[in-house]
Every structure is written in structure tokens, then in C-alpha cells.
A and B are shown apart, each in its own frame.
Chain A
Amino acid sequence: MNAPLRKASIVILVLFGLLFANLNWVQAAKGEEYRTHERNSFRLRDVEYDKQRGNIEVHAGGTSTEAVALSKSTDGRLRYQREYPFGDVYAHVAGYKPVYGTASSVERFENDYLSGQSDELFTDRVRAMFTGEEAAGGNVLLSISKAAQEAAYKELKENKLGVKVGAAVALDPSTGGIQAMVSMPSFDPSPLASHTQADTDAAFAAYDGDKAKPLLNRAVAETWPPGSVFKVIDSAAALEAGSTPETMMQAGPSYVAPGTTHEITNASANVCPQQQISLIDALTVSCNTSFSRLGVELGRDVIKKKAQDFGFEDEALTCGNLKENSGLTVATSHVGDVANADGTEDKAAMAQTAIGQKDVRITPLQGAMIAAAVANDGVQMRPYLVERLLGPDRTSTHYTVNPEELRRSVSSDVARDLQTMMESVVNNGTATSAQVEGYDVGGKTGTSQNGVTDNHGWFVGYAMKDGKAVSAVAVFLEAAGNGGSAEATRIAGQILKAVTSERGGN
């Protein structure tokens, strides 16, 4: 019986040999494929939380930085816990990184770098392997200024009209770096990053179910009629068509556009009741009848072209990392069709469009970009959030932003004329509360009707020093009613003061 026993033992060896071979196939040959399979996300998550995710940092004056999102080690199964020390303040700009669910904003589009998976961190991973140190994720330094962001958050939240919904954006006109981005109402990202799924789900359900939509980043994700802010575009078009700030225009208490009986009036009886007004004064007092008439005279094509030069209809715009061209998706700002049913220009609609009504819609970011283009002598820079990517040990820099020209909105001559006009608005007109000691501040207020709620309040503007742009800002208050644009202007002034004071007045 020994011969068959020997054969049986060979059979066992063959069977185990098959198991060995198959284990090699599954664990070695196919291992990488299984490990990185998209449906293996549970395990990838555990692996992800086994190392320290990098910080998201902002400028805190001078060369110092401060983390607004960081990871602390825990005793739990997931070894690191994401923390957001400033709660609501940076929620929309930094985003949140939930264990269970999808990340947002910087946490989402810089995930590879923050989690240490990025190719740029390859050498750091190799070094960590040899030194036995724990491989950690890289740190992301944003262009955000702590002072500007906190001022924007505080002033918006504590606005004097008690408005609950709004947004503010500030950016550096010469680079496009976002200095502040606040959306109101905001939310605390910390419960969304809980390690307990029930807590995350409850927090998310509460935020998502809130009618005020706190998770929505209103600074970039939604559009509203800009009202008189649009008059900056009209002015630019007029200047390019040969006008000067001193060119006289028709004014008057009311204007009825061709093809309609609808009467366009001014905000109040004491705004440009005279028959003639210069372009600069029309902008300074925000004369509706002049600009409606101007819009109809210049025509749809000219106005739409100029709006596009300032960034309207740009469907591809993102705001985040210039190199990756990734980031927040920016809702497209529109002028509208301004057309009759047969496609020809609707002059009545054009009269409305010229004062930022009818179908004109902009994002708060677009508002800031209009002001920025004027302040930057006509050149609009591509907006970004990510300024630098620092290695896990902070000694190496893997990326430094190279600011990018997005488009030329107007010639520098026209830009300078626009600066003169917008500064007149702040110095003599509707926006005096935006003034900043020692700076040339220009701007434009806006009050837009939407036919449903109270009027929205707008202000877009900029601060310059010695001919060099420092900051451009847009503040939006939804359904703020009377005094909305005045409050938006005051808030913008505070944001500009925060930016300039952080720069030490230089």
C-alpha cells in the first residue's frame, strides 16, 4: 500500500503547489491591481488615515502662516483625525474631508497632495521608507490672507441689516490670488470629519436639509443680477467707443426704450434729474436713464463683447490650482440673450440689461474680477487659491504659483479712465464708506431687483497705492432691501482695510 500512499502524498504536494502558485498570482502579480481597485475604497481609507494628512494653511501676516485644516493623531482605528480650528470661517474655502463621503474644495482638489499620494511627493515617500519616519502628506499654502478672511467673515456675519445670505470675495488684482472668500451662511466642517459615520451622516443631513443651504459656496457657485455694478461694463464699452469720462450723456428722470412702454427710472428723484450728465458723473450717482440709453445706443453686440472681455460667458473657469487647472468650479456669469423671438436685438431688454437687470447674472467672484481688471490696468489675472505646495517636512517646496494672465479686458488707457470714474464713485458718490486712508479706492455699488424678494445689495471695488493694485473685492448681500448696497460697501471697506493693514500700509 506504500506506492499509492506515496502517490497520494505527491497529489497533496501538487494541490499545495497550485495553492502556492495561485497565492503568488493573487498577492504578487495581481496585488497592485486589487489594492488600487476603486471598489477597494474601504481599505484605501484605512491606509489613508494611517498617515498624517497635510495642513491647509493661510497667510497670517508677514511670512508666518497658520493652519486652518490639520490632522491630529488619535487612539482609534483611524489614526488621524481631521480638525478645523477656525470652524465656520474657512469652511467654504478649505472645504472638508469626511471619512464617509466626498470631500469638498481644497480638501478635494488637492487630495492627492494632502494625503501624500501625489507624484510630487514620491521622493519624500522613498526617504520616509529609508529613514523609518512616518510618511506624511504635503502641506498646501493658500493665497488667503487671514486678516482679510476673518474680517470678511465677521463683517458679513454681523452685518447691520441682519441679512442671512451673502458672499464676499477679495483677490489680488496683480496676481489673481484669492485673499478672502466667504459664503454666508457657513457651517462647521468638524462634525463632517467625524470618525463615526452616524455623526457624519447626521451633520450632513442637517446641513443639507437646511433651507439656507450652508454647504453652498455662494462666492463661486451661484449667480445673481448685478444691478448697477454692470454699469462698469457699459462705461468700458463707451470709453472704447470713443467717449471720455467728460463726454456728456442724456439723463433725466425716466427713459422709455424703443419697442416698449416700460419706463426706466432712477433709484430716487434726486438722481440725475437734469437733461445732461457727464459719463463720470453718471457712474458716480448711478444714473439709470443714462446707462440704459447708452446700452441701447451701443447695442447688444458691443455690450456682450465687452462683458465677455471681463469674463462673462466663461464656462471653463475654475479657481484653485493653476498648474493642475483644478479647483472650485465657477458658475458661468451671463449677460442673457437680449433677443426677440426672431433673434434680433430686443432694445427694451437691452435697456434693462445695461443696468444689470433682465437676464444678467454674475457670481460674486466675477464681480471682484471686474474690479480687479480695472485696477490691474485692464489685465484680468486667472484667479487661484493654491499659492505653494510644501513638502511634509516643510523644507521643500514642490510648487509655487506662477500667476497667469487670463485675458485683457480693456486697454490700459481705458482702464485708467475707469479707475478715475470708479474712484469718483467712492470719493464723491454712492460708495464713500469704502474709503481707506492712504489708498486710492474705486468701486461701484449695485442694487438689483429680482422680482421675488427684496433687492440684493452689491459692491465691487478695489484699493490701489501709487498706481499699483492691492486688492479687489466684491460683497453681495441677498435680499438685503433698502441700504443693502450701502452695507455691502461698508463691509467691502472693512475687508480692504484688513488687507492693507496686514500689508503694513505699504
Chain B
Amino acid sequence: MPRLKIDSTKRRNSELALLALALLLVLAYSATVEATMLDTITPDFWVPTAALAAVFLALHVVIRFLAPFADPAIIPAAALLNGLGVGFLRRLDLDDVSGVAEAADRGAFAGGGGRQLAWTLISVILAAALLVLIRDHRNVSRYSYTLGFGAIILIMIPAVLPARFSEVNGAKLWIRFGDAFAIQPGEFGKLALVVFFAFYLVRKREVLSLASKRFLGIDFPRGRDLGPVLVVWMMSLLLLVFVKDLGTALLYFGMFVVTLYVATERSSWLIIGLLLFFGGVFLAYYLGELVGGPFANFYDRATIWLDPFSDIDGDGYQLVQALFAFGTGGLFGAGPGGGSPGIIPEVQNDFIFAGMGEEIGLFGLVALLMLYLIIVERGLRAALDVRDSFGKLVAGGLAFTLGLQVFVIIGGITGLIPLTGQTTPFLSSGGSSLMANWMLVAMLLRISDAARRPLASGGGLATAPGGKPAPQQLHGAPTEVIRP
């Protein structure tokens, strides 16, 4: 269809231009790091950026052909975050390098930064493959129950596995194969769960929104409809207990409440959800204080959050070091390579934002947050624009979850909320997180392509006389809900 190509070219060209800008920034970042840390720039400093450029451009070409109307801002934003993450992890590797010669000897795939680069290539290829495989996001709904079942299995495996196979730094979130390799199944479970929620809610939304009892001015659903919510909430609490991780529980629960709210358009769900959530948190806090056991972990984190400086050398050490890093960075930062991120424990994972904060300062971090905001809000935009409920719920759920995750981890390491172990999307070291987040991006692209595709080319629908598109008969449920 020649007309279709004309329509999409401008959009794709801006994506290409933004991508080139992002890669240029990554290249400049790598050069600055080497100039600061080694006082010179090694001759092959550009190799990792070139590898990233190759794979991002390949993805761009795939999008040109398979999702030509997709939002042009998402890929460059994710690519910039991802590229800076690789650059920062390479910068951490340079801390262990004694001189220029040794730095020059390192291959593009050496060290933590090299591993991250390899994972990025795999993840982006996976995202491209997903775009190739899934030509219409609605097809995914066919596998919803499989995905839902799979999600629960994936999430529960680490919880039931013995600690030596599943525990890393006190959080049981992993399946470990020896010391070298571990995957975090929850990262994938999260995606599958969103798809399952979306599918379930699209089917149940009318009964959930219509059948209700009014109490204290709030419309409460019937008990049997409330059941699944309570089940998922209980599952979240169980996760908190077994996995010792409030963040994951909060993420799943928030994701569920929001998709439920979007599906039913009932704010009562939000109120119920928030009440249940805060009830659960306070319960966990007081149980942690009184009986300890599985709740102690959360109680400890809450006390650290309340006053990290009361135990600088012990429990508060990590958070205090992060705050020192942020503070030392100040407004402009020490410059890439100019800080001391190695002091912060787990700076390559949970605390990568703090490590970067020392070097790029408040202005740099705000720019990173803006990139996240672009991805999340563009995802929500796709959800607004797409015409089918399933697509709305999947895009809305995925985008909101991503935003919530960024809030939970960055809020945690800046002392805004109690710290919970989450990866920082696209930045943190680790394959599972990267793959899952690039899959998420692929889904958002697919849905935004459907949302922005001109109606005439959407599915061979007839154009009404006068050139205006005909009213749509959409797949799935109608978008209007009749209130009682």
C-alpha cells in the first residue's frame, strides 16, 4: 500500500533522527568516561556504541516495515536509557583497571558492561522478533489463560525453591544456575500477568461495574466478583512473606488495581485497593515489630527509611552512601567517570541511579526521569488511542507498571519511600530485566502502531462517502459502559 508508506515515513524519520541523537549522547558519554578516568580515550571506545547502534537500527528497520505507525519517541528514549546503562556499567569496570593499556585491552563484551551489552543485543533482537511474531496484539489474547497460569508458576518458583537456588542478597526472586547465571522469572511473570489481567477484565468488566451494593457512598461490588481481587491481593501478601520483597508485591497489586479501575471506570476499586494496600503495609510493619519472622525484612526496611543515619555502618549504610552520592553530585554532578560509585553496595543493580546521580547530577537525573516519563506517557497515550479494550488494558497496564516500578525503585533509593529491591528499567545490570522491558516496549510499539494506524488501512474497513471514516465496530467489548 503506497499511501500507507507515505503516511508513516515522516514518523519513522523522526524516530531515526532521535535514535541518532540518543546514540550520539551515548558515544559522548563513553568518551567522557574514558577521558575522565584514564586521561585519554582508548582507540576503540566507540565499539560498544557501534554494536548498540547496529542493533537499534535493525530494530528501527523492523519497525519501519512491521509497525510503521508506532510511536517514534519510545525506541529512542529506551535506547538512550539502555545505552547510558551500558556505558555506566563499563565505567564501573574501569574502576578495576590499572591503566590505559589494560583498558584498551578489554573487549567490547568484557566485564559487567560487556555482559550488559550482550544482553542488550539479545533483548533488542527479542523485541524485534516479538514484532515479527505478533502482527496484531489482539492475537495475544488467545493465549491469556496459558500466560496467566505461566505467570503464577514463574512468580512462585523462586518462592518455593530452596534459598540456595533462589536467594540473592536476601530476596528470593531468582532461579540460579550456579553462581554465574541467574534469571529473575518475576520480570517475565509481570508481563504475562498484565496480559492475563487485561483479558480477564475485558470479559468480566460489565459484571464488575454493574453489579454492586452501595455503602457509605461507595459502590461495592458483589462478594463473588470481589473474590479475584482478594485472591490477587492475598497472593501479593504471600509474595511479600515468601519472597521477602514488598516492592514486587506492591507492583503486582498496583498493576492489578489500576487495570481493574481502568476496565470498570469505578474509583471505588482504587479506594478499596489503597485501603487494602495500606492495611497490608501497616499490618506487615506491626507484625514485623511484634513477631518478626517473615515480616522482619519489611520492618527493618521501614526503620531504615525513617532514619538511615541512625546506623550508618550497619543497616543504613547502603541508603546513606546513596544519599551521599546524590548530595556529592549536587546540581551538575562530578562528570561521567568523576564520581566514586563503587562505594555504594549493589550500585550496578538497585542503586545504579544513585551511582549515576553522583556523576551526572540533578540535571542529568531529571533528564533520565523525563525519558522514563516519555515511555510511560507514550504508552498510556497508545492505550488512550487504541480502539479495542484488550489493547487499552494491556498498553495501560504495561505503561503504568513501568512507571510504578520506576517510582518504587527510585523513590526507594532517594529515601522517598522504604527501599524495595527492584531493577531500574533499562539501566540495571541483568538480562532478565532488560529482556522483559524490551518485550514490554515491543508490546507498546505494537499497540501504538494499531492506535495510530489510519482507519482506512486498519483492516480494510469501508470509508464512508465524503471521505470520513465509518463508525467502528471494534473487536471485543464496547468502549462505552452504561451505568445503572
Contacts and interface: CB of A to CB of B under 8 A. Distances in A.
Contacts of A341: none
A394 interface: no
A3 to B, nearest CB: 6
A14 to B, nearest CB: 10
A27 B365 contact: yes
A20 B339 contact: no
Interface residues of B, number: 59
Overall SS of chain A's interface: helix
B330 A31 contact: yes
A46 B377 CA distance: 39
Contacts of B362: 23-24, 27-28
B384 interface: yes
A211 interface: no
A122 interface: no
Interface residues of A, number: 39
A42 B327 contact: no
A8 B327 contact: no
A35 B396 contact: no
Nearest to A21: B416
A26 B414 CA distance: 7
Interface string B318-345: 0010011111111100100011100100
B461 interface: no
A28 B328 CA distance: 10
Contacts of A35: 324, 327-328, 330
B262 A77 contact: no
Contact of A27 (B262, B320, B331): B331
A12 B380 contact: yes
B248 interface: no
Contact of A8 (B361, B373, B380): B380
Interface string A28-57: 101111110101101100110010000000
Contacts of B38: 75
Contacts of A39: 312, 320, 324
B95 interface: yes
Interface string B378-417: 0011011000010011001001100110110011001110
A22 B416 contact: yes
Contacts of A22: 411, 414-416
A37 B479 CA distance: 56
Contacts of B263: 1
Nearest to A34: B327
A5 B407 contact: no
B39 interface: yes
Contact of B403 (A15, A27, A33): A15
A4 interface: yes
Contacts of B366: 20, 23
A86 interface: no
Contacts of A40: 324, 327-328
Most chain B C-beta atoms within 10 Å of own C-beta, residue among A9, A24, A75: A9
Nearest to B337: A77
A20 B479 CA distance: 35
A42 B400 contact: no
B369 interface: yes
Contacts of A129: none
A18 interface: yes
Query: Which DSSP category, helix, strand, loop or mixed, fits chain B's interface?
Result: helix
A4 B259 CA distance: 9
B421 to A, nearest CB: 18
Given A9-B380, A34-B324, A77-B37, A1 B265 contact: yes
Interface in B94-128: 95, 98-100
B197 interface: no
Interface string B224-260: 0000000000000000000000000000000000100
Interface string A400-436: 0000000000000000000000000000000000000
B407 A31 contact: no
B377 to A, nearest CB: 6
A34 B369 contact: no
B85 interface: no
Contact of A19 (B37, B328, B331, B410): B410
B376 interface: yes
A1 B395 CA distance: 12
Given A12-B403, A31-B326, A43-B324, A1 B389 contact: yes
B251 to A, nearest CB: 13
Contacts of B48: none
A6 B384 CA distance: 8
Contacts of B380: 5, 8-9, 12
A2 interface: yes
Contacts, number: 145
A78 to B, nearest CB: 11
A4 to B, nearest CB: 4
B220 interface: no
B29 interface: no
Contacts of B365: 23, 27
A473 B372 CA distance: 72
B56 interface: no
B329 A27 contact: yes
A18 B403 CA distance: 13
B327 A31 contact: yes
A242 B164 CA distance: 92
Greatest chain B CB density within 10 A among A4, A16, A23 is at A4
Given A19-B411, A20-B369, A35-B330, A9 B100 contact: no
Contacts of B265: 1, 3-4
Given A26-B415, A43-B343, A12 B327 contact: no
Contact of B343 (A6, A23, A42, A75): A42
Nearest to B333: A27
Contacts of B358: 43
B339 A16 contact: no
Contact of A2 (B37, B323, B376, B384): B384
Contacts of B100: 75
A35 B330 CA distance: 8
B68 interface: no
Contacts of A23: 326, 357, 362, 365-366, 369, 414
Contacts of A31: 326-331
Interface string A335-370: 000000000000000000000000000000000000
Contact of B327 (A6, A20, A26, A47): A26
Contact of A75 (B99, B324, B330, B410): B99
Interface string A125-150: 00000000000000000000000000
A413 B75 CA distance: 94
A15 B343 contact: no
A8 B262 contact: yes
B351 interface: no
Contact of B407 (A1, A19, A28): A19
B377 A9 contact: yes
Nearest to B38: A75
B392 A5 contact: yes
Contacts of B376: 9, 12
Contacts of A47: 328, 334
Given A26-B415, A34-B327, A43 B262 contact: no
A43 B373 contact: no
Contact of B340 (A6, A11, A43): A43
A252 to B, nearest CB: 69
B441 to A, nearest CB: 17
Contacts of B403: 12, 15-16
A24 B340 CA distance: 21
Contacts of A28: 330-331, 362
B306 to A, nearest CB: 15
Given A22-B415, A35-B324, A39-B324, 5 more contacts: A1-B393, A13-B377, A19-B411, A28-B330, A50-B338
- Top-3 shortest CB links A-B: A34-B327, A27-B362, A12-B403
6 contacts: A19-B407, A27-B326, A28-B330, A31-B330, A34-B323, A42-B340
